Each structure stands twice: as structure tokens, then as C-alpha cells.
Structure 1
Amino acid sequence: MTNLERHSYDVVVIGAGGAGLRAAVEAREAGLRVAIICKSLFGKAHTVMAEGGAAASMGNVNDKDNWQVHFRDTMRGGKFLNHYKMAELHAKEAPDRIWELEQWGALFDRTSEGKISQRNFGGHEYPRLAHVGDRTGLELIRTMQQRIVALQQKDGKTYQSMESHLKVFAELTVTEILKEDGKIAGVYGYWRESGAEVLFEAPTVIIATGGVGKTFKITSNSWEGTGDGHALALKAGANLVDMEFLQFHPTGMVWPPSVRGILVTESVRGEGGVLTNTNGERFMFKYIPDVFKDKYADNEEEADRWYADQDNNRRPPELLPRDEVARAINTEVKAGRGTEHGGVFLDVSKRLTAEVIKKRLPSMWHQFYELAGVDITKEAMEVGPTCHYVMGGVEVEADTAAAVGVPGLFAAGEVAGGMHGSNRLGGNSLSDLLVFGRRAGMGAAEYVKSAKPVAVSEAAIKAAAERIQAPFNRSGGENSYSLHAELQEITHNLVGIIRTGSELTEAITKIAEIRKRSANVSVAGDRKFNPGFHLAFDLDNMLLVAESTAKSAISREESRGGHTRDDFPQLDNKWRQINHIASFDGKEVSVRKQALPAIPKELFDLFDIHELEKYMTPDEIAKGGAR
């Protein structure tokens, strides 16, 4: 194509959220030429929805905290399905990443001694979340953007030519990752405004595209969360790990319909918010799992006392891990004790004054007041589960964030799997972005040193261009909006928060039918300002995600973390040692079982033997960790 826009870089980063920006900073500081591609406007990343804080064991509020405790909490939250090395690296490196962020200009809230303040969150033993009110993710993005700007300057002046150093390409969609001779060669895509096609040649690609929420009907994710990175990785020959584990955040807005699914930060509960049903019952006391009985209060008086004395070991049940709280709310609603709009009540007004609420939770006050006409300083919020985060993602090497089996491909953040196991603890997402975003940048820089750039063939360019044009060459075909709506109904009803084998079988059949129909999607008009054109590609990605999720879910015959089988309601220790690996042959997704790496003895010994018995087989315990 003679009019094809071409660029050449050492590293292409797909995604401009926290992980993508941190990776770009690391790669640029290593002297590489870096392109950052974002699907939306620069700064509009799902990272800003992580409002409550970033988890790091700095010990600023409780000096008993350390990386070992954080590691244990992360493994417990993930029901011991986490890749131990990723959880270890995260716990050890998170404090340095937060202090680094502060050095770059992040304005964290402070303790009375002037240290970075840390708040409580579900599943964390001690106050651990460094925060900026309830706008922490926004501050992270602001700080990282400023760092990007700083790296675009030399001697106080912006480089005249950004092409050879660091450049952001906003509102650009990547349609595929290109390979030559089995190695990464670049990416292909188009400008969303005009539809003009763009080729980026580069020996390394870092995927940092976030989550898959728009595959589901009710989600906290914005329109960008269509599983692009997951699908791009599959199509490039990478694997996805444990896609059955989706986190339904327990508290999203449920009314009015226009805002349904918008996140209500966990910091509301961390600051003392309580959950009640329509009978006025503080119902979470009924849902404390046996494995957590020694950690959570079993009566209201004891729970309330914890807020005054946080050295008390038994926390309020509202601060149980997210999967436990989401299932409890779902159960209350199904039992007829939910609100008329399908939620429950979350009230912080009885514990904090209006002044304190507006100071500590300013975004939540504004969100409910402006969008729902509710003053949370006086009234309860109406909340319910919303698809928020996917624990599954690209199978990567822990140290380098390199995608397994695809030289030159890396992944970090929500799009990468392994770190969180079957359930992510609140606050671990932001520190995850920083820790593994940095490691992806380091891994890419190391790879580039020995990699020889491979030119993209004209045949590959021609094929990529034809795929973009294909929907316009069809007439009278399927409508991408209709198919997307059908897919969301299937995932919501059959692959949602509670699953059964028969429903998953039905979902797999229906998803396959939509995939066949999607091959005939047609788009009217031209490429300019054409949302139907964009959705045609998003739909293909979401179908791959949904297929991976449903096929992984039907294989795992137990309930663990973000995966609940009504027909297999118990956690089964034999499944703790198994990851599900999804791959794509160009026609369909296949899922196979793979052994989870054994926990080494020095980490194994951090846990009490009685706790391990709740999650591991006798044989695994007898081995006492990998030696």
C-alpha cells in the first residue's frame, strides 16, 4: 500500500493505562525508541477506576506489616492458585514502586507523622493501601503522564522529532500483532477518526490493554474494555491462563439504569460502610467462610470495635475478599431480600460525619449526588455486583513479563494472568501495574539488545489490510450491535457470577453460533466516525474472550474465587494444582490442564500447616514445598 502510514520503533506498547505507561517509562529510560498506542484519549484509562488505593506493605500505619504478610494475604485471596513467583515479586517490590511514584510527583494522603497514609481494604490483614482520597488511580495516571512528558524533553525543551524517542498515538485501534519467522515484527491498525491504516514495525510489543468487562452486560468497565489484548495475544500464538476467573466487584451502582455497573469503591467499606438488606439486617455475618472464621468478626459489636482498635485481629465481614462479598449480595437478592432494583444497601453515613465523607470519599459523594440524586452523607447507597476485573490473562514469565512461546511479546497489568490466582484483592491492581509494568519494560529492553528487527512482509500487510476492509465489502450481513447484545445476554445469564455445567454447555454452543454469524458482519457507510466499524473488530475479540472463559469454566469442576459452580459448590483441593491454558488455532479455542508451579519451601513455610490443609492435598503438604 503506497499510502500506508509507517513507523519504526524498538518497542510498541499497546495500552496507555498504568501498566502501559510504566512499561514505556522503563523502556525509554533504557534508551529505546518507544511508541504508546491507546484506543481512546490519552489519560482515559480504566486505571482511574481503581480509586481506593495501591497495596504496598510500607508499614506506615501498622509497623507489623511486611512483604511476607502481603504475600500471604495475596495467596489467601487467590485461594492459592496464584503463580507464587509473581505474588512474591509483587509483595517485595510494591513499596519501592509507591515511593518511586511519590518521587515523580504523586500527592498521596499523609499520616499525622507525614508518612504516606494507608487504609484498610478487603482481604488485607493490615492497613496497606496508599491512597489519594478515593481518586488514587487518577493520581497514578496523572503522575505517569507527567513522567512521559518529562521523558519527551531534553535540556528543558521538547524534542523537535518525537518519532525517534517516545510518542503517544491516541485514538488508534490495533487489529493484529504481526510476526515473521515466528518472532514479533510489529503491529497493524487504523486511526479511529479516519479509518486510515497504520503499520508499526518493532521487534517487541508490550500488551497492556486491560480487561474484558464489555463482554458482559453489567460492568464497571468503560467502552474500551473489550478484551483486545487477550484476543491479540491468542491470535499471535500466545496462551491465556485461567480465564474462568472473573471478579464481580460486589459494589457497583444499580440505579438509575443509565449508571448501572459504575464502580463504588471498596474504600467506602474500608472507611466503615456497612451492607444491609431490605430487612435492615447486616447480612455479611451469615456468609463468613470456614477458612476465614478466625479472621472476621461474627457479631456487630466486635466488628464495630475493630474500627477503633485495628490491632484487633478480627475484621468486619464487609471486608471479606471481593468474591465472598459478591456471592453474599447475589444470594440475598435471589432470596428476595434485595432492593426493587436488584441490589442491597451500603451505608457509611452512620459512622462518618458529612465533612469526613466529603474529605475521604469525595468522588463517591459527587458520583451519587450527581448521577443518582443520593447524598451519601445522609442516605444509603444502592449497590450490587458488577463485572469488574479478569484474573485470567496472557501466560507470562514472572521475572520478565514475556509471553510464553512468542519471542518479543510481553504483557502486563490486567491483561496478564497468574498474579492474582482465582481472586484479586482490592488495591493489588495498582501496585501490580507498577511492578509488572516496570518488569515488562525491562524485559523488552533486554530482548531488544539481542533481537534483530524483522521486516514485515508485503504479504502480511496485504492480509491485514484486507481484514480491515472486509466488513465494508459485505452487504446485507449481520449487525455487530445485535450480535454484541446477544453475546452479553449469554455471558450474563449463563457465564455469570453463578454457573452450572448445563448452562456453560449451552453458552459454548451459543457463542460458537454467534462466531459463525460474526464472519458475515457488514458495515454501512465509510470509515470516518463509524462506531459500527469499530465494534466489528471489538466483537471478534469479545467472542474469543467469552469462548475462553466458558470452556475454562466448564472444565473446572469446583468453586474457587471468582469461579462459582452451583453443581460443584465446594472448593476441591485437587484443583489447586491445576491451571487452565487456552490457545487458539485460528478457528476455535481449546483448553488444556497444566500443573501449577510448586511453592518453594521458604515461602511454603510462611503459612500455618492448619491453613494449608484448607487448600492443599495431603500429598502436597507432605512434600513441604518445592526443594
Structure 2
Amino acid sequence: MATNDTDIERFSYDVVVIGAGGSGLRAAIEARARGLKTAIISKSLFGKAHTVMAEGGAAAAMGNVNPKDNWQVHFRDTMRGGKFLNNPRMAELHAKEAPDRVWELEAWGALFDRTPDGKISQRNFGGHEYPRLAHVGDRTGLEMIRTLQQRVVALQQEDSYEFGDPDARIRVFAETTITRLLKSPDGRIAGAFGYIRDTGRFVLFEAPTVILATGGIGRTFKVTSNSWEYSGDGHALALLAGAKLMNMEFVQFHPTGMVWPISVKGILVTESVRGDGGILKNSEGKRFMFDYVPDVFRAQYAETEEEADRWYTDPDHNRRPPELLPRDEVARSINSEVKAGRGTPHGGVYLDIASRRSAEYILTRLPSMHHQFKELADVDITKEPMEIGPTCHYVMGGVEVDPDTAAASVPGLFAAGEVSGGMHGSNRLGGNSLSDLLVFGKRAGDGAADYISSLADAKPSVVQADLDAAVAEALAPFARADGESPYEVHAELQQTMNDLVGIIRREQEVRDALSALEKFKERAANLSVPGERAYNPGWHYAQDLRNMLLVAECVAMAALEREESRGGHTREDHPEMSPEWRKVNLILSLNGDKVEMVHQPIPVVREDLLALFDISELKKYMTKEELAGHPGAAALEEGH
């Protein structure tokens, strides 16, 4: 299975975008608009990105349904949802720019649902004060990908190239896996090495900039809404290249995934069901979420069913149904009901839209959900409730980037979307993901273009020894005749993370997980894959497993270190939020093959942004020193 340079197909680009979902395509479109020759690397088929599974909508304060909505309210909701651990600059940019990015999609051909007066329709979602999610039924992510794909094709046609032409200034490489980012001798990004999945042929993309847009880490856990692509590739590539990850302890367990039949356990049930009026009930028929509203959210959420139902009919009523609490709160509540013995026969709770909305309404607003449950579980959601439970869905932690440019600490490396960290703090609000992809995808494309413009000398060059090492690493599983199967190690890794670093964490269990991960790493160093490189799924698994083990270690290390409960991170032995821990970002990096972690202060919230909140709310999260710039600080100091 030896190889040499003649076995490697070489390409030269200005920008290489790894990932063909919403952030990757938006970044590539922007880079191409800036005149750069751009490659888009898709791990799966073009159009099969995980973004298509985002169903509910894109959050943007356009004010089409409630004119009181604006970027300041959106910013406030995002910070509240993230329990004030968000990078405030990222949350500000996102809230301000999301409407323009949605209108841009519309101009490119996206067919959004409309209000009676013809504006883009917006629906309710958890944690959002007003109806804010621009949507296309419950297939919004699919429409986003369709629109961005068509934009890529249109750009190629503007250059008089057919789709897939090798000379096009924007080209998609489908079913291609990147295994290593390569740097020049002075530490700048110089390219990306990988292979074509169906043939096994190695490829080298020589480029001064790489934009990571690879999504999340869900395959590290056993029960997940994520598809097979989400193996933490971008997180691991960034670490291995010398970049830093932040706050990897914050993993969001979406409260509503399918729980039955077992073959579909974890598949996402969109938050749109609750946004459109669905309610949660336990096995005793009780609408239980009223019992779980935290004190910090008490003023924003209804206390009775009558008050909750007013939310959907009275635009001036601002107390939301408790089913629309942020996802971390709902997931923990469901977990508590099941642990208390009030769960469904298959270990979840009931999500009921049938008793709340007409069949016509459900089929119009939630067609994918109706089809999903009918085909996979033989449940008609227009007539009966769904069984649902928490599922690993999203990671808030990711590559540490500059908020304005999306640049990582390695020159020439950028990241956008779920692979980047900071925007969502400790918990992401539903709907913020799709607009996040658009806002920071564009900014990453701009950042890459500005970086290239700043290069006074020739493009950075790949070090031959690094290329040889990347080839040897990829081929290593074929050289072992009696090694272990990557499938077995992966299955045990998933079970370990699910059991010991899941929705509720305990110190000893996380320590046990870290011990198990050390053993998994030893076993992974002895993986064996039979056959040839072409059409070899075992080989693909071996490449992914390296990434998942590295990411799992980062999650577990940070989960052990953060001794508080905040957002997607719940420590049973430290159940409260701590104002001191709120000031800390956990930064992870690689020193050789060892993961290291340091504490880093979070960015200070500007005084004008602080002033958007009532100081009585902020004092639940922040110290008096942090609130010194708030207009109400004097009264707080006096004890009022």
C-alpha cells in the first residue's frame, strides 16, 4: 500500500472551504465574490449537508410578525440563552446582520412562507421573546442549501463554466475527506491533504487559506440527532494544526428526539412542533413544564395554562409557554420526569400537537414531521402524541476565532458555523444556528479574502516531510494485519460518552470516562483495516475515529474542570451557576499529543450592551465589578 508523490493529485486554490453546509457555501460564495479561486470540499454528496436537517427556521429580528422585535431584543435573548457566556461581539454582529442575510437568501431565490401581507413569515421558538424564525414549513435548512447551491452554480455560469469544470473559479469536490491541514515552515496555512472517498486517491489542495465549516461532534455520542458526517473533523483538524478550542464542555442535548422504535432513536423532532403550540406531558397526562421554570426566567414565562395559551393569540402578551424555555432547561426537565418514573413506555415523554391544532394546520406547517413519524414509527401526529426524549444535537464549543473576521490563531485558518466557538455561549437558542451560518459564513469568506490581500510575499508552501507524514498516517491501518476493528472502538466510545459525559455529569463518572478514553487511544493506535483504499468504509471509520477520540477528550476534560452547572453543561455535584465561573473560558490546545487546558477571561460586555438588560437580572449572573458600567450600578451598590 505504498505511495509516492505521483499518487497524489494536486490542486492550487486561493481558498479551500472544508464543508458544504450553510456556513461553508456562504463563505465560498463570498470568497468567490471577492475574486478568489475557491474550492468547496464536501465529505458527502453535494446537497446532502447536515444543514438540511435544520427544520424550524432562521432567527432574524425582521419584525414581520411582531414589529416590536429588533436586533437589541435578539441580542438580549441570545445572551440570556447562553447564560451570558457568549462572546458579546459575536452575539451583537449576529443579531444585527441576520436580517440582511435572510433577505439576501430571498433575493437569491429562497421561497419562504409568507404572512398575509406578503412578508416573510416568522414563527415562535424557545428562548425568543417574539416570533423570529423565518421558515419554509419545517424544511428551512433544505431550502437554504438549495438556494446556496444554486448560487454556486450561477457563479460558475457567470464565468462561462459548466458545473464541475476543473478550471472553474469555484469548484465542488464531493465525497472528499480532509485528514490534515498543512503549514509552511513559518507556521502559516499552506494547504489541506485528504482523499477521494470512493477511489481512495490522495489529494493535496495547496492554498494560503482554509475555512473550516465542518459542523459538529454528534457521532461521539450514542444517541444523537446528527448524521454520519458529524465526527468532529474540523475541531480535530484545527487542534492538530495548532489552533485552540474553547468551552467544549457545552454540548446541547435537544429535548425532542425520537425514542421509538430503537432503530430511529435520536432522530430530531423539530422545535417547530412546540413553537406552533405543541405541549409536553408525562405518563400521567400532566403538562409538567410549569414545574421546571428556573427563577432567572420566572418573569418571562407563564405560570398557568391559560396564560401560556395567550402567547399564541395576543401579540402584547409577553409571558411565553414553559415549553419554549431554552433547550437545556427543557431537556433537563424531561430527564427529571423520566428519572422520577413518569416517562412513557419507551423512556421519553409525550409531545402533543394533535389536541392543539387542526390536521390541516399540522400538515401545512409540519409536513416533514408528519411524514417522519408516519413512516418511521407508524404514528399519525395529527391524531396522537409523539414519544420524545433528549438527543445529542449541537456543540456550543469550538475553534476560538476573532468575532469580526472568523480567523483562528493559526495564520490563514478560519472557522464558521458549529465548528467555531463563542457565539452561543453555554447554550444555543433554536433558530440561531441557521442565521449564524449565514452571518459568520460571509464574514469568514471576507476574512479569508482580506488575509490573502495582506500577503506581501508568495503563497506559503507545503513542507514535504509534513505531506509524507500525512500520507503515512492515512495508510497506517492497512499495514497492520491483526489490529482491532474501528467499529468496535467507536461503539464503545459512543456508549462511554453517552453514559459518563452525557446530559447529567458527575465528577467520578467524568474521571472514569477520561480513563476509558486513554485506553481507547491505545487501541486506536492499533486499528487494522482490510482491503484496498477504494470503497472502504472501515478505512473511513479509522480516519474519523482519530477525530472523535480527540474531541471526546476535550469535552470530558472541560466537563471535569468546570465546577458549576450552566447551559448545556450540568454537574450534579455542582448544581448552581457561579458568577466567578461565568468569567472563565476554558481553552484547549495540543502540546505534542497531549491536550492542555488553560483558563481565559471572557470578553467584557460593552456598557451600551449591558444597558439593554435590567440590572436586577444581570446581578444573578455577574459580579458587582463587572456591572460597574451599568446605569443602575449606583443603586445596586446602595443595596437597592
Shorter-chain TM-score range: over 0.9
The aligned amino acid for 2:30 is E
Find out whether 1:72 has 2:76 as its counterpart. Answer: yes
* Residue of structure 1 aligned with 2:171, choices 159, 167, 172: 167
> CA 1:174 to 1:608, structure 2 compared with 1: closer, same or farther past 3 Å?
same
Report SS of the residue matched to 1:429: helix
* Residue of structure 1 aligned with 2:220, choices 201, 215, 221: 215
Find out whether 1:242 has 2:247 as its counterpart. Answer: yes
Report SS of the residue matched to 1:318: helix
- 1:98 counterpart residue number: 102
Given that residues 54 and 136 in structure 1 are in contact (C-alpha distance below 8 angstroms), is that contact kept between their aligned partners in structure 2? Answer: yes
Which has the higher mean CA deviation after the structures are superposed, 539-548 or 443-452? 443-452
Looking at structure 2, the residues matched to 111 and 391 of structure 1 have their Cα atoms a distance apart, in angstroms, of 32
Looking at structure 2, the residues matched to 65 and 147 of structure 1 have their Cα atoms a distance apart, in angstroms, of 30
* Residue of structure 2 aligned with 1:346, choices 346, 351, 359: 351
1:457 deviation in Å? Answer: 2.7
Residues paired across the two proteins, number: 625
- 1:600 counterpart residue number: 606
1:350 deviation in Å? Answer: 1.1
Given that residues 182 and 463 in structure 2 are in contact (C-alpha distance below 8 angstroms), is that contact kept between their aligned partners in structure 1? Answer: no
Report SS of the residue matched to 1:158: coil
Q: Deviations over 1:368-408 (max 9, x none)?
A: 011110000000000000000000000000000001x2000
> CA 1:335 to 1:624, structure 2 compared with 1: closer, same or farther past 3 Å?
same
Looking at structure 1, the residues matched to 233 and 159 of structure 2 have their Cα atoms a distance apart, in angstroms, of 38
Q: Which runs of 4+ in 1 moved over 6 A?
A: none
The aligned amino acid for 1:581 is I
Looking at structure 2, the residues matched to 489 and 23 of structure 1 have their Cα atoms a distance apart, in angstroms, of 35
- 1:546 counterpart residue number: 552
- 2:31 counterpart residue number: 27
> CA 1:187 to 1:160, structure 2 compared with 1: closer, same or farther past 3 Å?
closer
- 1:475 counterpart residue number: 481
- 1:459 counterpart residue number: 465
Find out whether 1:224 has 2:229 as its counterpart. Answer: yes
* Residue of structure 2 aligned with 1:329, choices 310, 331, 334: 334
Q: Deviations over 1:411-441 (max 9, x none)?
A: 0000000000000000000000000000000
> CA 1:193 to 1:502, structure 2 compared with 1: closer, same or farther past 3 Å?
same
Looking at structure 2, the residues matched to 235 and 83 of structure 1 have their Cα atoms a distance apart, in angstroms, of 24
1:468 deviation in Å? Answer: 1.0
- 2:117 counterpart residue number: 113
1:156 deviation in Å? Answer: 6.3
Given that residues 165 and 171 in structure 2 are in contact (C-alpha distance below 8 angstroms), is that contact kept between their aligned partners in structure 1? Answer: no
1:194 deviation in Å? Answer: 1.3
The aligned amino acid for 1:36 is I
Looking at structure 2, the residues matched to 485 and 100 of structure 1 have their Cα atoms a distance apart, in angstroms, of 42
1:160 deviation in Å? Answer: 8.9
Looking at structure 2, the residues matched to 515 and 319 of structure 1 have their Cα atoms a distance apart, in angstroms, of 40
Alignment of 1:372-383 (within 5 A): 372-383=377-388
Report SS of the residue matched to 2:181: strand
* Residue of structure 1 aligned with 2:530, choices 512, 517, 524: 524
Given that residues 282 and 337 in structure 2 are in contact (C-alpha distance below 8 angstroms), is that contact kept between their aligned partners in structure 1? Answer: yes
> CA 1:202 to 1:156, structure 2 compared with 1: closer, same or farther past 3 Å?
closer
Given that residues 152 and 162 in structure 1 are in contact (C-alpha distance below 8 angstroms), is that contact kept between their aligned partners in structure 2? Answer: no
- 2:418 counterpart residue number: 414
Given that residues 511 and 543 in structure 1 are in contact (C-alpha distance below 8 angstroms), is that contact kept between their aligned partners in structure 2? Answer: yes
Report SS of the residue matched to 2:180: strand
1:311 deviation in Å? Answer: 2.1
Find out whether 1:89 has 2:93 as its counterpart. Answer: yes
Alignment of 1:245-394 (within 5 A): 245-394=250-399
Report SS of the residue matched to 1:315: coil
Looking at structure 1, the residues matched to 53 and 235 of structure 2 have their Cα atoms a distance apart, in angstroms, of 20
The aligned amino acid for 1:76 is R
The aligned amino acid for 1:511 is L
- 1:490 counterpart residue number: 496
* Residue of structure 2 aligned with 1:45, choices 29, 41, 49: 49
Q: Deviations over 1:276-320 (max 9, x none)?
A: 000001000000000011111111121122222132111100000
Report SS of the residue matched to 1:262: coil
Which has the higher mean CA deviation after the structures are superposed, 230-239 or 583-592? 583-592
Looking at structure 1, the residues matched to 26 and 256 of structure 2 have their Cα atoms a distance apart, in angstroms, of 28
* Residue of structure 1 aligned with 2:203, choices 186, 198, 223: 198
1:622 deviation in Å? Answer: 2.6
1:157 deviation in Å? Answer: 5.7
Looking at structure 1, the residues matched to 155 and 168 of structure 2 have their Cα atoms a distance apart, in angstroms, of 12
Q: Deviations over 1:495-516 (max 9, x none)?
A: 0000011111111111111111
1:559 deviation in Å? Answer: 0.2
Given that residues 57 and 94 in structure 1 are in contact (C-alpha distance below 8 angstroms), is that contact kept between their aligned partners in structure 2? Answer: yes
- 1:427 counterpart residue number: 431
1:145 deviation in Å? Answer: 0.2
Alignment of 1:557-568 (within 5 A): 557-568=563-574
1:587 deviation in Å? Answer: 1.4
Looking at structure 2, the residues matched to 7 and 519 of structure 1 have their Cα atoms a distance apart, in angstroms, of 31
Looking at structure 2, the residues matched to 485 and 431 of structure 1 have their Cα atoms a distance apart, in angstroms, of 33
Looking at structure 2, the residues matched to 278 and 4 of structure 1 have their Cα atoms a distance apart, in angstroms, of 59
* Residue of structure 2 aligned with 1:512, choices 507, 514, 518: 518
Looking at structure 1, the residues matched to 196 and 398 of structure 2 have their Cα atoms a distance apart, in angstroms, of 26
Alignment of 1:143-182 (within 5 A): 143-154=147-158, 158=162, 161-180=165-184, 181-182=186-187
Given that residues 13 and 38 in structure 2 are in contact (C-alpha distance below 8 angstroms), is that contact kept between their aligned partners in structure 1? Answer: yes
What TM-score do the two structures reach when normalised by structure 2? 0.96
The aligned amino acid for 1:158 is E
Looking at structure 2, the residues matched to 562 and 546 of structure 1 have their Cα atoms a distance apart, in angstroms, of 15
Given that residues 153 and 163 in structure 2 are in contact (C-alpha distance below 8 angstroms), is that contact kept between their aligned partners in structure 1? Answer: no
Could you say what the CA RMSD is over the residues aligned between the two structures, in angstroms? 1.2
Looking at structure 2, the residues matched to 402 and 555 of structure 1 have their Cα atoms a distance apart, in angstroms, of 27
* Residue of structure 1 aligned with 2:139, choices 135, 142, 155: 135
Q: Deviations over 1:54-96 (max 9, x none)?
A: 0000000000000000000000000000000000000000000
Given that residues 9 and 164 in structure 1 are in contact (C-alpha distance below 8 angstroms), is that contact kept between their aligned partners in structure 2? Answer: no
Q: Deviations over 1:158-212 (max 9, x none)?
A: 3894435011000011000000120000000001111110000000000000000
The aligned amino acid for 1:104 is W
Find out whether 1:501 has 2:501 as its counterpart. Answer: no
Which has the higher mean CA deviation after the structures are superposed, 303-312 or 406-415? 303-312
Looking at structure 1, the residues matched to 92 and 469 of structure 2 have their Cα atoms a distance apart, in angstroms, of 43
> CA 1:325 to 1:145, structure 2 compared with 1: closer, same or farther past 3 Å?
same
Q: Deviations over 1:599-627 (max 9, x none)?
A: 111111111010101111122123449xx
Report SS of the residue matched to 1:492: helix
* Residue of structure 2 aligned with 1:574, choices 564, 580, 602: 580
1:460 deviation in Å? Answer: 1.9
Given that residues 552 and 580 in structure 1 are in contact (C-alpha distance below 8 angstroms), is that contact kept between their aligned partners in structure 2? Answer: yes
What TM-score do the two structures reach when normalised by structure 1? 0.98
Given that residues 249 and 326 in structure 1 are in contact (C-alpha distance below 8 angstroms), is that contact kept between their aligned partners in structure 2? Answer: yes
Given that residues 8 and 200 in structure 1 are in contact (C-alpha distance below 8 angstroms), is that contact kept between their aligned partners in structure 2? Answer: yes
Q: Percent identity?
A: 68
Looking at structure 2, the residues matched to 220 and 282 of structure 1 have their Cα atoms a distance apart, in angstroms, of 25
Looking at structure 1, the residues matched to 422 and 164 of structure 2 have their Cα atoms a distance apart, in angstroms, of 41
